[in-house]
Amino acid sequence: MALFGLSACGSGGPTGGSSNETSAAPTSESGSGLASFDPCTFFKPDELTSYGLSTQSEEFTQVSFQPGCSWTGKKMSLALQKNADETVKSLGEGGGHDEYTEIKIAGRDAARMIVAGAKDQGGCVTVVSAGGGIVLYQVTGYMRDSLADPCGEVEKIANQTASRLPK
């Protein structure tokens, strides 16, 4: 799960924290920005189980300005973080990426990101414009070959759920 730490200015590891049951009702307060958006309650339990993940979230906040949560499964983990200080464009201009390709996800500005040194390591980040900032979806395979296409996997998840992100 090191990709987000690297994408968030190279901060240290996760802070740890208590597990929370994911609520059945996702937060989708359109127009309210990211301030009230809670990444830890965003996914519906049936979505998480369909991705092969536990419905128990764990805190995944490596830097204070990019809070989030993660969920684990047998083959991979999924993390979701918010960042009100960046845009899809500004994050790409910061460098430190093996790949940063602007794409569209659910009609929104987005990007496929692989941080420097992580190419072919089994992980990928999809950055999606939301609420005046960005939301980062990250899939990390437990083994380098756990996921045949980590970017395809995370983009599929983002496409299925990004319409509920704040506008």
For the stretch 87-142, pLDDT in tens is 999 999 988 899 999 999 999 999 999 988 888 888 999 999 999 999 999 999 98
- Per-residue pLDDT, 5: 44
Could you read off the pLDDT of 2-23 as tens digits, one per residue? Answer: 444 434 333 333 333 333 333 3
Would you say residue 27 has pLDDT above 60? Answer: no
Could you read off the pLDDT of 35-63 as tens digits, one per residue? Answer: 999 999 999 999 999 999 999 999 998 88
Q: What whole-number distance in Å separates Cα of residue 115 and Cα of residue 103?
A: 16
Q: Among 68, 67, 85, 86, which Cα is nearest to 77's?
A: 68
- Per-residue pLDDT, 118: 86
Mean pLDDT, residues 156-161 = 98
Query: Are 147 and 122 contacting, i.e. CB atoms less than 8 angstroms apart?
Result: yes
- Model confidence, pTM: 0.81
Q: How confident is residue 145, by pLDDT bands cut at 50, 70 and 90? A: confident
Mean pLDDT, residues 61-87 = 94
Query: Are 52 and 73 contacting, i.e. CB atoms less than 8 angstroms apart?
Result: yes
